Homo-oligomer: A and B are copies of this chain.
Amino acid sequence: MSAGEGEASDAIQLSGAARRKRESRRKLMAAARKLFVERGYHETRPQDISREAGVGHGTFYLHFEDKLDCFLAFTEEAADELHVFVETHHAVAGSIEEGIRELLTAIFEYSDENPGVLAAALTDVSVLSTGDTGRRMPVDRWAEVWSELLEKWKETGEAAPDLDVRMAGYLIVGAIKQGGAYGYRRKLDRTKMIEGMTRLFVRALKK
């Protein structure tokens, strides 16, 4: 059973040490996500993460350069996860209206399953650190996803031809972020939010 790991995993045979390290990182990532979401960046100390993960304080620094590095790893993980959700909703396939509705649905479903994660991951890093980190932030990734979709719809003639897709991508992400926070606070009905946003976005973008 322990031989070969059973699955055709991407690391066919992990030596003991490497496996332990992976396991530590996994625990740290889970702990970091939990605490960043619950308490926010500044209220979470590296040692809290270590304790929550059940590893020593020093282990934290074996896996992350510093606290910010850990936070960025968290945001990237969240971005990756959301990406999977989005892909299963193949927003790309349909019309502009369907596409937008699917994308929003994916986002809200992810948020339901992972409450608070998106809000935490979208924390503006410039609030956390001076100086450029050199890393691409979730906001940018998500804005780009939208931009690409809009570009496609522009090509198919569904979206307004005079659209600046880059700017529109950021406008949409900003709107969703702020609107989502508002809806979450007011405990608005998810379906209604999706419908409302879809209507606005479609009208704004459609030819």
A interface residue numbers (CB < 8 A to B): 39-43, 123-124, 126-128, 130, 139, 143, 160, 162, 164, 166-168, 170-179, 181-183, 188, 193, 196-197, 199-201, 203-206
Contact = CB atoms under 8 A, between A and B. Distances in A.
Contacts of A188: 167
A176 to B, nearest CB: 7
15 contacts: A40-B126, A40-B130, A41-B127, A123-B127, A127-B127, A143-B178, A164-B196, A167-B179, A167-B182, A167-B183, A167-B188, A174-B177, A200-B205, A201-B204, A203-B205
A110 B40 CA distance: 31
* Chief secondary structure at chain A's binding surface: helix
A173 B178 contact: yes
A170 B182 contact: yes
A42 B128 contact: yes
A174 B178 contact: yes
Contacts of A139: 178
Given A127-B127, A167-B196, A201-B204, 16 more contacts: A40-B127, A41-B127, A124-B127, A139-B178, A160-B203, A162-B199, A164-B196, A166-B182, A167-B179, A167-B182, A171-B175, A172-B175, A174-B177, A174-B178, A174-B179, A175-B175
A193 B128 CA distance: 27
A130 B39 contact: yes
Nearest to A130: B43
A118 to B, nearest CB: 13
Contacts of A126: 40
A170 to B, nearest CB: 4
A139 B124 CA distance: 15
Contact of A127 (B42, B173, B197, B200): B42
Contacts of A162: 199
A200 B177 CA distance: 18
